[in-house]
């Protein structure tokens, strides 16, 4: 039986995807940091986005471990 994704699951997944894409761009060229490009004029907000991406990655990892046990 497939479980429906909650709103929190969807937000976490989107943030992890955004973070992964951002890291991919930084890997291509360090000046391609999408978060800093969009929020560079608001460094506190950019830092918050990085924090939320990290927390989302932990959340998704925990959810996936629970999913794998079933």
Domain presence at residue 29: yes
Backbone angles phi, psi at 53, to 5 degrees: -65, -45
Buried b (16+ CB within 10 A) or exposed e, 36-65: beebeeeeeebeebeeebeebeebbeebee
Contact 35, 27 (CB under 8 A): no
Question: Structural domain tally of the chain?
Answer: 1
Per-residue pLDDT, 25: 93
Instruction: Say how far apart CA 70 and CA 67 lie, in whole Å.
Output: 6
Mean pLDDT of the chain: 89
What is the structure's pLDDT at 1? 46
Structural domain range at position 50? 7-69
Whether 52 maps to a domain, the answer reads yes
The answer to whether residue 20 is domain-embedded is yes
Is the pLDDT at 20 greater than 50? The verdict is yes
In a domain, 2, yes or no: no
Q: Is residue 1 part of a domain?
A: no
pLDDT given for residue 2 in this prediction = 57
């Amino acid at each position: 039986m497939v479980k429906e994704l909650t709103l929190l699951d969807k937000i976490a997944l989107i943030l992890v995807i955004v973070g992964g894409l951002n890291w991919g761009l930084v890997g291509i060229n360090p000046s391609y940091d999408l978060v800093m490009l969009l929020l560079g004029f608001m460094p506190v907000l950019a830092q918050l986005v990085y924090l939320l991406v990290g927390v989302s990655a932990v959340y998704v990892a925990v959810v996936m471990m629970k999913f794998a046990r079933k």
